A and B are shown apart, each in its own frame.
Chain A
Amino acid sequence: GAVVSQHPSRVICKSGTSVKIECRSLDFQATTMFWYRQFPKQSLMLMATSNEGSKATYEQGVEKDKFLINHASLTLSTLTVTSAHPEDSSFYICSASPGDSNQPQHFGDGTRLSIL
Chain B
Amino acid sequence: AQSVTQLDSHVSVSEGTPVLLRCNYSSSYSPSLFWYVQHPNKGLQLLLKYTSAATLVKGINGFEAEFKKSETSFHLTKPSAHMSDAAEYFCVVSAADTDKLIFGTGTRLQVFP
Interface size class for chain B? 10 to 19
Q: Mark B65-79, 1 if CB is under 8 A from A, else 0.
A: 000000000000000
- The contact of A104 among B46, B106, B108, by CB within 8 Å, is B46
Interface size class for chain A? 20 to 34
Given A34-B100, A104-B34, A43 and B46 contact (CB-CB distance below 8 Å): no
For window 34-92 of A, CB contacts with B under 8 Å fall at 34, 41-44, 46, 49, 91
- Most chain B beta-carbon neighbours within 10 Å: one of A44, A107, A112: A44
In the assembled complex, the CB of A2 is this many whole angstroms from the nearest CB of chain B, namely 10
Given A42-B105, A43-B90, A46-B101, A91 and B44 contact (CB-CB distance below 8 Å): no
Given A102-B51, A104-B49, A46 and B100 contact (CB-CB distance below 8 Å): yes
In the assembled complex, the CB of B21 is this many whole angstroms from the nearest CB of chain A, namely 14
Instruction: Determine if B51 and A105 form an interchain contact, defined as CB atoms under 8 angstroms apart.
Output: no
Question: Does A6 touch B at the CB level, under 8 Å?
Answer: yes
- The contact of A112 among B41, B44, B105, B108, by CB within 8 Å, is B41
